[in-house]
Amino acid sequence: MKIIKTVFFVTLLSFLAGCNHGFEGEYTTRIGSDNELIDGFSGLLGEKKVIIGRNYIESDGTRTEYDEIFVRTSNNGKRYLIFKSEGSEQEAWQIVDDNTLKKGNQLVSVILKKVN
């Protein structure tokens, strides 16, 4: 009986661990640009804190819930963190590395850096 309970709990914990997208945590935002002039002004905007949870994003006391948050790998090998809302609406953030997310283009982008 003890072995069955142990196997059950290990299986349950493995399943629950698999439900997470791996990017939960607190992040700071920064506006960035490849253009030096724009990048210089972006420092004046300051930083904001953003919390990414299992199925939500929270910023400035406002929580936005999503049906699902998951990682998708594109054909070219880039990874994206996908925030899926009701229906088929999706928002994608490029995964730069395990601690950095980016949305935008070379002119202006928002960068989320995980707080350790």
Domain extents for the chain?
A: 23-114
Its pTM stands at 0.74
Which pLDDT belongs to residue 23?
A: 92
The two beta strands, 62-65 and 68-73, are unpaired
Residue reference for tokens 């949305």: 103
Which pLDDT belongs to residue 7?
A: 44
pLDDT per position in the chain (116 positions), as tens?
A: 555 544 444 443 444 444 578 899 999 988 877 777 766 666 666 678 999 999 999 998 999 999 999 999 999 999 999 999 988 899 999 999 999 999 988 778 888 999 97
**β partners of residue 52:** 25, 57
Which pLDDT belongs to residue 45?
A: 65
Distance CA 40, CA 80 (A): 27
